[in-house]
Amino acid sequence: MNPHAINLFRHKLAADAPVGGLWVTLESPSITEMAVGLGLDWVVIDAEHGHLDWQEIAAHIRAAVRSETIVLVRIAGLDAMLTKRALDIGADGVIVPWIETAEQARAAARFAMYPPEGVRGIGAERATCWGECMAEHTAEANEHVLVVPLIETVTAGRNIRAIAAVDGLNVFFFGPHDYSSTAGFRGRWEGPGVADELLRIRDVIRGAGKHCGIMTRGADDLRRRREQGFRMLGLASDTGLILRGLHQALAGIGQDRRMNTGFSAAQTSVAPPLRRPPEVMRPDRREVITPCGAGNRMSLASGVILEAQVGRHNQARNLMTGIVTFAPGASLPYHRHPCGESITVLFGELLVEVEGRRYHLREMDNIVTPAGLAHAAVNASPETPAKAHVALASAAPERSDVQRDFAGALMPDDCSGVPGAERVNRFKTAQRFEAGPNAVFIDFFNEDLVPGIKMSGGHGLFQPGGRLPAHVHDFDESICIVAGVATCVVEGRHYSMRECATALQPRGRVHYFKNESEAPMVMLWVYAGPKPERIVVDERCATVEGDPWKPRGWRQ
């Protein structure tokens, strides 16, 4: 234990100053030595996940001896024996995962203290200088030891007032990934509503005169978290820093790639950017940005209005997208299209029937119907309107009413549709993948997921700083910004988009999207092609100077 470093840590927090640190998961104590040498306030050695053994943990603790950097060990669970062992080998404190109640929080504090305040046994180990400093250490340990609960579940959020009131606990660390998972959004950093919920918990903890910590994901996120009142700031993890550096270096030679769970990059490598798009893709139309409310409006049924934002009216090819608004209780009778259709709920809830199979769809749930499949939709709420984003694989889609009754049956909430017929994407459990830095995508439909669909599309979440590379498509594309603010860049032309504004990107136009705001941004993207393929090009092609489609013979 290092009382001097612990006091410095506490004094900074008491002055409402940030304390920055590193999360360590790898074996080499050189990592902790680097953190100490750079003057970081804290290091966490992760013994909950990963493969570190106690000898390796002790080596990390030794690397910080006689420094001003505290070392905490994240133990594997709320356990008196694990707490005692971490403290006996010299840790300044423990981070305890999955604390959900005040009783658990009190137990965590008690496990870290010697009697009579706690139940920690006294050992002649490194913390007591192998018995040489038994009296000195045991006299000061209870006052200095740091116990940091991890707040990482919805249950903990519900109980936060009682947890924050527990004596002996002054810092709480947040786990957004696990919190999102317990909220039904497994695999996401902050699922819908989770960011606001964490800020509510922060307010309760700070209102109790205590402090909050969280990992950050880059310079912009670090600034945002500091402004939000988080003071124990995780600057990075060791593996995160290594991977970030490798991706940047690989991108510099045009060989960046993703890793899969088999530790193979062979199937996920990214082709080097082209110097310019192929000449055969020279576009014949400009991009069109349509704010919500400026599209072509038409009535589909009583109380059901479609606003077409991309389609034949603005020269789109093989694609129509728009926003459908359902008045309370409004319904769209059974019909079919000669092309595939996608429906994504934006607001409210819809009941969508496909030949009698009734699906209850909530916000961001999606259903895809192949050509010719009869379907209907209804807003079951008598009080609240509902909105949906729709896409069809035709610029001028046709619709024919279906004059027959189907025996209705409500499908289970976890039903993903019928093989060979409709596909249902439940947003909470949909598979996600990284499409670019701080950009996570979901594929709703393509020819592999829905054979014969003739279009592809899905959902994209861009955290602050998220973006895609400059690219082109061999087909038209529609991008609707359904949450946050997006910056759309097309060959040097910049557009700010929000509130369901939709961009038509014609075949061959060099473009990309980025999130320059401090809040998440969400898009629904649809390609007029059966596979979600893009051709990455040199970033200069997305600038005025590097525009690859300047008139032939033009000279700068």
Catalytic residue positions, numbered:
49
482-504 exposure pattern, b = at least 16 Cβ within 10 A, e = fewer: bbbbbbbbbbeeeeebeebbbbb
352 is written with which tokens?
A: 């969508």
Spatial separation of the C-alpha atoms in residues 409 and 415, rounded to whole Å:
12
Q: Are 330 and 387 in contact (CB under 8 A)?
A: no
The pairing of strands 350-354 and 70-74 is: unpaired
Q: Is 326 helix (H, G, I), strand (E, B) or coil?
A: strand
The 304-310 sheet, strands edge to edge:
296-301, 304-310, 320-326, 386-392, 341-347, 366-369, 423-425
Spatial separation of the C-alpha atoms in residues 147 and 475, rounded to whole Å:
56
What is the crossing angle of helices 102-111 and 80-88, to 10°?
40
Spatial separation of the C-alpha atoms in residues 309 and 288, rounded to whole Å:
9
From residue 301, alpha-carbon distances to 25, 379, 401 in Å are 58, 12, 11
225 is written with which tokens?
A: 């978290």
Question: Cβ contacts of residue 11 below 8 Å, gap of 6+?
Answer: none
77 is written with which tokens?
A: 């669970």
Spatial separation of the C-alpha atoms in residues 289 and 308, rounded to whole Å:
12
From residue 556, alpha-carbon distances to 276, 545, 553 in Å are 16, 8, 10
Asked if omega into 116 is within 30° of 0 (cis), the reply is: yes
Environment class of 205 (CB within 10 Å of its CB; exposed 0-12, middle 13-18, buried 19+): buried
Residue 398 CB coordination number (10 Å): 11
